Chains A and B, each alone.
Chain A
Amino acid sequence: MLANLSIHFPVLQVVVPLMAAPACLLLRQRGLAWGFAVLAMLVAFAISVALLYQVIAGGAISYALGGWEAPWGIEYRVDLLNAPLLMLVSGISAIALLAARTSIENEIPADRHTMFYIAWLLCTAGLLGILSTGDAFNVFVFLEISSLSAYTLIALGKDRRALWASYQYLIAGTIGATFILIGIGLMYVMTGTLNMADLAQRLPEVSSSRTVFTAFAFFMVGVCLKLALFPLHLWLPNAYAFAPSVVTAFLAATATKVAVYVLLRFVFSVFGYEFSFSHLPLQEILLVLGLLGIFAASIVAIYQTNLKRLLAYSSVAQIGYLILGISFANETGVMATLLHMLNHGLMKGALFLSLAAVVYRLGIAQLDQMHGLASRMPWTMAAFLIGGLSLIGVPLTVGFVSKWYLVSAALENGWWPVAALILIGSLLSVIYIWKIIEVAYFKPVSATTPDVQEAPLGLLLPMWMLVLANLYFGINTELTVGVSQLAAASLFGGAP
């Protein structure tokens, strides 16, 4: 039975959380809903692990939904590029959901908890659907599932500014999605197909047309709005700062990565390297925006005193690194981007979960209330410390591995000034992380520090799972580096 079932893993990966969501509504009681949601996410995570090993062993898997072969039906396609990301999204979603039960006690009224878990499952399913699908229009549908549920999750934050942040995100997100829809429509007009592999075959014939150029431009702008590329990032800091803390941990670690994936998929697999980089000044645009993003956002981060907001700006900066890797337009650069997507997911997940613990005890993560907090909450602050070191890129953490490849990619192109800028950018992150470490570890406990205890195990355990993952994948890089290398090679090898 299980062997039979394994051929359906690509669709079950998405359908399990998708159907668990309405099932939670039937359970009604919030404890039951949480237990069921966790169970569904663990199953989804197990499926993603199985899928990754299937792909490593046997190559890309194609699954025809409804039994209709592509391009007439919708195809799911899992390969080396999306399989690791499926694992990241389902893994982080499961771990953050474990922490959610404790964390939202103080942040969301009890009668909304069931709705919260349902929206969580829907958001996860939406993100997984975007990753799995091989159909351009299906991307739009699942993008909207994940977006609508993300707006809901963010709006449940306890501050009224969460509502305003959610509204702004809704407007920006819908403009982005509509631009993507225009892009897809224009691609369809010139090729008559919506299947990505089929588009990749048919686009080269018409690649010199003005319509395809416009399609590319609209699609890219739409995706860049979704992934919060500087200067289209304005919705992100408030959304992350005022969302419930576990939601920030989940979204920061996954949502923008999924948007970067869509960018990579369309730039390299659908439009193709030839079109994207030789017809257009894409390389220059991405390089400039990536660098500007790193510096502008890092500098703003230094001045923040609300830690969730500080890390949100740091996320905008990290997106800059991801885009920079793509702009190198070489195999090492793309590989560094892929690796950093996974690694940044792990570090931001750990960092935001430790902030969730701080918020759980203090009610807010504000710098001036954290004097000497490390003595009161040693495990939480240790987790933050390790996450912070990883963010800076200290050896033995995942952050070091991805920065290493990013710098080598820059040097491979002979762009040593860019390599130098990457290192200077890391120095900026030292400043804002150090600012927090200094206050929490080296300032004496003051009158403004509330008298609190260490966070409960319900938060500490999930947090430390991610911290250990940061260390494990920082030391044993075989899996992540290996898969990213193969995936980058496949993107440059032509066919998706």
Chain B
Amino acid sequence: MNMETVINMVLLSLLVVTAIAIVRIKDLFAAAMLAGIYGLLSASFFVMMDAVDVAFTEASVGAGISTLLMLTTLAMTGRFEKISGNYRPRLALVLVALTGALLIYGTLDMPAFGTAAAPVHEHVAPRYLNDSYAEIGIPNAVTSVLASYRGFDTFGEVVVIFTAGIGVLALLMRAEKPTPRTQTPTASMHEHMVLRIVAKMLIPLILLFGLYVQFHGEYGPGGGFQAGVIFASAFFLYSMLFGLSEARKVVNHVVVQILAALGVLLYGSVGIVSLMNGKNFLDYSALSADAVHGQHLGILAIELGVGITVTTVMIIIFFAFSGRNQIEGEKD
């Protein structure tokens, strides 16, 4: 056994232990935190599997955004799960056992883990590795496939995020309140003076890092989605320390919504421009006389669209949830 195998074994065992702990624990705060840990562990596993872009995303989503939303929700819905209940765990167990058995049965004819001669690596994938540099001109093959070869999937992905933003808004949006409530800040301002000063220094750094991730995706792991999450987290930090209404002053919610729409439209417009120049939808080579240069421009533009929409939708979702939390607090 080499070192890598040992690390994989350890990570997989930890994943199993975490999953079982989530099943058993009745404290939902703990369950949400454990789910965050599960996300982090799988991100580490992705690194071992050479999927650095995926690891980056899973870490920010699984351990970051997702946990944050769960905890915000739990603050409103209650921390503990009801102990007894007349559920039928036995029926569920039978169903799960059958499904699992079918899955195991299905693996029996699968090529063994890690073999290079498996069909997965033979038919479509070699082109991405062998020709993408000549065709698209960037070293990160994941970005090439994501943004160009399968750019339409990524367009769909941006629309999915946008849809989630619309859905959360439609469900949690409050009626417009013209008078902004002045809430608490002065007291906590003094209490957390150190935090605030540190945060004030941190936020520009986070934004800078976001910019780096946004524009470095062609060369290393990163891209619009990851950058969007990082940008959004700078705002989360700001609003946690300075209060929601302060944060709302910095980012007006109408502007945020408009930007979310513009990000999607920017992505789509790149496709429309390709049409106008006589090529197919999202064929970036239509953007410049030199095909590879066109690809480069196209990827830059659509990644920007992704970054804008992801940042703004994350802010929309965060504000919608924590805004609801405030109302909840007032009622009590």
Could you tell me which A residues sit within 8 Å of B by CB distance? 4-5, 8, 11, 15, 18-19, 21-23, 25-26, 28, 63-68, 71-74, 111-112, 115-116, 118-119, 122, 125, 129, 137-138, 141-142, 144-145, 148-149, 151-152, 155-156, 182, 186, 188-194, 198, 202, 206, 209-215, 217-218
User: A202, B152: Cβ atoms under 8 Å?
Assistant: no
User: A156, B170: Cβ atoms under 8 Å?
Assistant: yes
Q: Complex formed: what's the CA distance from A190 to B118 in Å?
A: 8
Residues of A close to B283: CB separation below 8 A: 66-67
Q: Complex formed: what's the CA distance from A156 to B166 in Å?
A: 12
User: A67, B108: Cβ atoms under 8 Å?
Assistant: no
Least Cβ–Cβ distance between A243 and chain B, in angstroms: 13
User: B156, A214: Cβ atoms under 8 Å?
Assistant: no
Least Cβ–Cβ distance between A234 and chain B, in angstroms: 14
Q: Known pairs A74-B152, A210-B109, A211-B110. 15 more at Cβ < 8 A?
A: A15-B272, A19-B265, A22-B162, A65-B280, A66-B284, A67-B286, A73-B150, A74-B153, A152-B170, A190-B109, A192-B118, A192-B124, A210-B106, A211-B106, A215-B106
Residues of B close to A186: CB separation below 8 A: 106, 110
Q: Complex formed: what's the CA distance from A356 to B110 in Å?
A: 52
List, sorted by A's number, 22 A–B pairs whose CB atoms are closer than 8 Å.
A11-B281, A22-B265, A65-B280, A66-B149, A66-B281, A67-B279, A67-B286, A71-B123, A72-B124, A72-B127, A74-B150, A111-B173, A112-B170, A119-B163, A148-B160, A148-B163, A149-B163, A188-B120, A189-B111, A189-B120, A211-B109, A212-B109
Q: Is B125 an interface residue (CB 8 A)?
A: yes
User: B284, A141: Cβ atoms under 8 Å?
Assistant: no
Q: How large is the interface on B (under 10, 10 to 19, 20 to 34, 35 or more residues)?
A: 35 or more
Q: Contact partner of B280 among A67, A192, A202, A213, CB < 8 A?
A: A67
Least Cβ–Cβ distance between B301 and chain A, in angstroms: 14
Which of B192-200, B234-242, B253-261 forms contacts with chain A? B253-261
Residues of B close to A5: CB separation below 8 A: 275
Least Cβ–Cβ distance between B73 and chain A, in angstroms: 13
User: A152, B265: Cβ atoms under 8 Å?
Assistant: no
User: B124, A214: Cβ atoms under 8 Å?
Assistant: no
Q: Complex formed: what's the CA distance from A473 to B124 in Å?
A: 45
Q: Is B204 an interface residue (CB 8 A)?
A: no
Q: Which chain B residue has the least Cβ–Cβ distance from A194?
A: B124
Q: Is B128 an interface residue (CB 8 A)?
A: yes
Q: Complex formed: what's the CA distance from A215 to B107 in Å?
A: 10
Residues of A close to B187: CB separation below 8 A: none
- Among all A-B residue pairs, the 9 with the closest Cβ atoms: A214-B106, A67-B283, A192-B123, A22-B261, A141-B156, A152-B167, A115-B170, A209-B109, A25-B261
User: A192, B120: Cβ atoms under 8 Å?
Assistant: yes
Q: Contact partner of A119 among B170, B173, B254, CB < 8 A?
A: B170
Q: Complex formed: what's the CA distance from A425 to B205 in Å?
A: 68
Q: Contact partner of B110 among A25, A63, A189, CB < 8 A?
A: A189
User: B128, A72: Cβ atoms under 8 Å?
Assistant: yes
Q: Contact partner of B164 among A65, A148, A189, CB < 8 A?
A: A148
Residues of A close to B127: CB separation below 8 A: 72
With known contacts A189-B111, A210-B105, A25–B157 Cβ distance under 8 A: no
